[in-house]
Amino acid sequence: MRCAQFRTALSARLDGEAAGLPDSRLDGHVARCAGCRDWLEQARRLRAGVAASAADGPPADWSARLLARLEEDGPGGPQR
């Protein structure tokens, strides 16, 4: 099994979904694989950061800035 498959299962587990693999197998792989261990730590930090941002809500002018930017870019996306 490749690391990408373990990372998909780890992501599901972080989201509270069925991982599709036994926890012991996931935990064993993470214990042996530095790349997946680093990936899991980054995913946990990202999840915590997103949760903290969501709790605060977007800045008051966020929607207005987004709409203005979309209007600037036009239907085909950014013209660079």
Domain ranges for the chain? 3-73
Q: Is 52 exposed, middle or buried (0-12, 13-18, 19+ CB in 10 A)?
A: exposed
Is residue 44 pLDDT above 70, yes or no?
yes
Please give the residue that has the higher pLDDT: either 60 or 22.
22
- Apex CA 61: angle with CA 60 and CA 66, to 5°? 130
Full-model pTM: 0.65
For residue 12, is it left (φ>0), alpha (ψ between -120 and 50) or beta? alpha
Q: What is the mean pLDDT of residues 49-62?
A: 75
Structure tokens at 19: 């991982």
Q: How far apart are CA 65 and CA 13, in angstroms?
A: 35
Please give the residue that has the higher pLDDT: either 59 or 12.
12
Q: How far apart are CA 43 and CA 52, in angstroms?
A: 14
Structure tokens at 65: 């800035």
